[in-house]
Amino acid sequence: MSSVKTRRDVLGTSALRPDGPAKVKGEFDFTSDLHADNMLWGATLRSPHPYARIVSIDASSALKIKGVEAVVTSEDVPGQLTYGLISSDQPVFAKDFVRYMGEPIAAVVADHPETCRRALDAIVVNFEVLTPLTNPEDSLNQSVPSIHPDGNVIRNQKIVSGDITATGPIVVEGDYVIGMQDQAFLGTESALAIPDADRKGVEVFVATQWLHEDQKQMAACLNLPEEKVRLTLGGVGGAFGAREDISLQVHTALLALHVGRPVKMQYGREESFFGHVHRHPARVWMRHHATAEGKIVKIEARFLFDGGAYASTSSAVLINGITHTQGPYKCANAIVDGYAVRTNNPPCGAMRGFGVVQACFAHEGQMDKIATAAGISPVEVRLLNAMETGDALITGQIVESVAPVARCIRETAALPMPDPLSPNAHELDLPGGSGLTAQPHNIVRGVGWGVSIKNIMYSEGFDDYSTARCTVIDGKVTVKFATSEVGQGFVVLAPQIARSVLGLDDVVCDTIDTNIGSAGSTSASRQTWMSGGAVDGACRMVRERIFEKVAAENGLNPLSLVIEDTDIVDSMGTFRIPVLQAVQGSVFSEEFEHHHRATEDLDDDGQGNCHVAFAFVAHRAVVDVDPELGLVKVVQVATAQDIGVALNPLSVTGQIEGGIAQGLGLAVMEEIIVQDGKVRNPSFTDYLLPTALDAPNVVASFVEEYEPQAPLGAKGVGEPPCISVTPAIVAAIRNAVGKDIPRCPVRPQDICL
């Protein structure tokens, strides 16, 4: 009899997503798909002005509309009137002032979305319109009046490292501008709140990145104990940082508690642009001093992040930006000054890359300038300066992580280049595509490089732990966690971990909700490490219990037992039992909290071990440019990424390709246009996302060096793909047209005028 070995979906395999079948059939419940009996719709009244004093709000006409149940304003907020991730500075509803276009002023609840829209139109708000503060440089001017009680400077931090008088024969300088990018997840903000019968508690289904943080902020605003605000993750249609902050959570719960009926809120695309924070637009000035050979001697830098009207995570974004000034390169001497400021522009906060995107765009522009000055290639200058494990950052922190920077660069360089553009190229392969703007002879090709370092996990002393429970009943494994599945694939990884640790194959994920401890946020490339560590820990604890049971029953030493595939064996090789058989009739359940090592705040000179760990990546971009029209087609992006180990290669590839597309967006098309504090393009007609015809061919190589600090040896892979691809593409454009372009996204006029 031959036994057929079936492939097990353990760590290291490209196990398929358990939510895949429901998603392809349209049966997966996104939050926006949820309904409740007797449900009403909520909608938000938003400010048309970037800065104004609210003189009066009159909702009487709105309340007369048939179908309108209630209108709530700041007066109706029972608890804390403000919320915020780091500082509680953002009003649930604007009370005295509106500080950005789109700020919520009131919410209505009615029987139909169209009734809501009519009610919103009927609410009369009298504004005293004020002159908005829109230039972040002005926010630094002490004589400009504060637009918020907390002042116009959210945070200032310096880094002073080594010999700040050092210099070298090569001095290159650049003043870089990074536009405001939107996360543009496809599933807009949505929540369904169901009030308890006594209206002293509420159950909320919401698409979020961090259930417990939402719960905490909501409970404070609703004046309820946290356990009375029970959150369940509704299906999440992408996140990318935009669901870290509160958007409609408090409003939905407040309306539901107010009327005593289930309420659903669902933003349209236009409202979504106003309803969440964006990537900070930034201005980054850098001056690099280098040896004649091109080795970095010193970096001077100044960062200015426009945080918009409210703080959100601006202070952490600032720290991420300035502490990554040097990029993945050795540098002993630096003087950096960074500011995150308040303006009457849209609030900005987390987006994939979190401050490092802005730093990387600048330092990679600088590396190319050093290369030119030293007469070496972009690859050579990067290899010459490549950071290694054990190097000190400008913060004084030693990089303990595996740091295969040179290997990432070399492996990327070894990936095949695309064929040259054919004189008979298909029109869709040319910049301009079906617009038929160009013929092949109009096109020039360019190649550019970008390499980056990114911290993973939260920084500056924050203990962003994660919790998981593993329960085994008759061999059926359930893993429970509050980790937000936003598309990244933790729901496929968690069962893989359990199968590998336990030798059992029947694994399901429990509902993701607040009936377990926090998992921290699905951000900072941290969930594979943190929640992966928690699931791994919980499963290992269960495995110990199983070993204890088996050992006791068989007179063995539990420490001698190991899992081999699906069997428990002892180290002598004399005992073997299938795990499934060993656990029949038993129940095991263990919970585990995974904490990363402690970090610390920066001191006044920006010194301190503020980050947990780092990941690295290299990108090489090949672009075809129409120099006369300024249109670009990104032909190929090659990348080698430091990932630790590939726990699920298919998922890693998905993160790499997806991140590259987002980085491409920031390089050549994605920008929220804000003029005088007003958003001019809050729609997918005018905020352009890469389509199937814009996405480049991606050739990727995994750089696998087991990371000893990580519980599974794997680094987070979510953010690095989108960080250095943007400067790589812009460098390729510069290379094609021979022009210094200091901003992204690159607009056609930046190339051809």
Q: Segment 666-685, which members bind other proteins (CB under 8 A)?
A: 668-669, 673, 675, 680-681, 683-685
Closer to other proteins at the Cβ: 309 or 700? Answer: 700
Which one of 305-313, 354-362, 473-481, 647-655 is the stretch in contact with other proteins (CB under 8 A)? 647-655
Strand 296-306 with 263-266, pairing: unpaired
Question: Which residue in 626, 614, 581 sits closest to 720, CA to CA?
Answer: 614
d(CA 569, CA 562): 6
Indicate whether 398 belongs to the interface with other proteins (CB under 8 A). no
d(CA 499, CA 540): 11
Closer to other proteins at the Cβ: 197 or 692? Answer: 692
Question: Least distance from C-beta 337 to other proteins, angstroms?
Answer: 33
* Number of shown-chain residues binding other proteins (CB under 8 A): 94
d(CA 65, CA 387): 65
Question: Least distance from C-beta 680 to other proteins, angstroms?
Answer: 4
Q: Which residues does 604 contact at the CB level (< 8 Å), separation at least 6?
A: 158
Question: Least distance from C-beta 694 to other proteins, angstroms?
Answer: 5
**Strand-by-strand arrangement of the 613-626 sheet:** 444-456, 613-626, 631-642, 697-703
d(CA 572, CA 702): 37
The stretches of 354-404 forming alpha helices (DSSP H) are 356-374, 378-385
Of 4, 197, 436, 572, which one interacts with other proteins (CB under 8 A)? 436
Alpha-carbon distance values, 142 to 137, 145, 149 (Å): 11, 8, 14
CB 249 within 8 A of CB 243: no
Q: Segment 258-277, which members bind other proteins (CB under 8 A)?
A: 268-270
Q: Segment 476-515, which members bind other proteins (CB under 8 A)?
A: 486-489
Indicate whether 111 belongs to the interface with other proteins (CB under 8 A). yes
Residues in the chain: 753
Neighbour count for residue 320 (Cβ, 10 Å): 25
Q: Quick one: tokens of 322?
A: 């300035």
Closer to other proteins at the Cβ: 142 or 434? Answer: 434
Of 23, 64, 199, 739, which one interacts with other proteins (CB under 8 A)? 23
Closer to other proteins at the Cβ: 148 or 269? Answer: 269
Question: Which residue in 140, 150, 133 sits closest to 87, CA to CA?
Answer: 150
Indicate whether 661 belongs to the interface with other proteins (CB under 8 A). yes
**In angstroms, how far is CA 558 from the centroid of its own chain?**
42
Which one of 15-23, 122-130, 217-225, 280-288 is the stretch in contact with other proteins (CB under 8 A)? 15-23
d(CA 271, CA 47): 11
Q: Segment 441-460, which members bind other proteins (CB under 8 A)?
A: 442
The stretches of 559-611 forming alpha helices (DSSP H) are 579-582
Question: Which residue in 742, 734, 736, 729 sits closest to 667, CA to CA?
Answer: 729
Q: Segment 599-638, which members bind other proteins (CB under 8 A)?
A: 628-631, 633
Q: Tell me 124's DSSP state.
A: E
Of 55, 398, 428, 473, which one interacts with other proteins (CB under 8 A)? 428
Of 165, 434, 574, 584, which one interacts with other proteins (CB under 8 A)? 434
Of 432, 440, 558, 578, which one interacts with other proteins (CB under 8 A)? 432
Question: Least distance from C-beta 351 to other proteins, angstroms?
Answer: 12
Question: Residue 174's beta-bridge partner residues?
Answer: 286
Which one of 78-86, 547-555, 599-607, 665-673 is the stretch in contact with other proteins (CB under 8 A)? 665-673
Q: Segment 690-719, which members bind other proteins (CB under 8 A)?
A: 690-695, 698
Q: Quick one: tokens of 390?
A: 């054990």
Closer to other proteins at the Cβ: 383 or 741? Answer: 741
How many Cα atoms are found within 13 Å in the side-chain-facing hemisphere of 326? Answer: 31
d(CA 215, CA 460): 23
d(CA 150, CA 444): 51
Of 338, 431, 608, 711, which one interacts with other proteins (CB under 8 A)? 431
Closer to other proteins at the Cβ: 54 or 486? Answer: 486
Of 226, 429, 544, 705, which one interacts with other proteins (CB under 8 A)? 429
Of 51, 93, 176, 185, which one interacts with other proteins (CB under 8 A)? 185
Show the site string, 145-184: x = touches other proteins by CB under 8 A, - = not.
---------------------------------------x
- Helix, strand or coil, per DSSP, at residue 640: strand
Closer to other proteins at the Cβ: 117 or 330? Answer: 117
Indicate whether 117 belongs to the interface with other proteins (CB under 8 A). yes
Q: Segment 731-750, which members bind other proteins (CB under 8 A)?
A: 747-749
How many Cα atoms are found within 13 Å in the side-chain-facing hemisphere of 44? Answer: 30
Question: Least distance from C-beta 9 to other proteins, angstroms?
Answer: 13
Strands (E), 224-291: 229-233, 263-266, 278-279, 282-290
Which one of 236-244, 284-292, 498-506, 565-573 is the stretch in contact with other proteins (CB under 8 A)? 236-244
d(CA 351, CA 340): 15
Closer to other proteins at the Cβ: 248 or 370? Answer: 248
Q: Segment 25-64, which members bind other proteins (CB under 8 A)?
A: 25-28, 30, 32-33
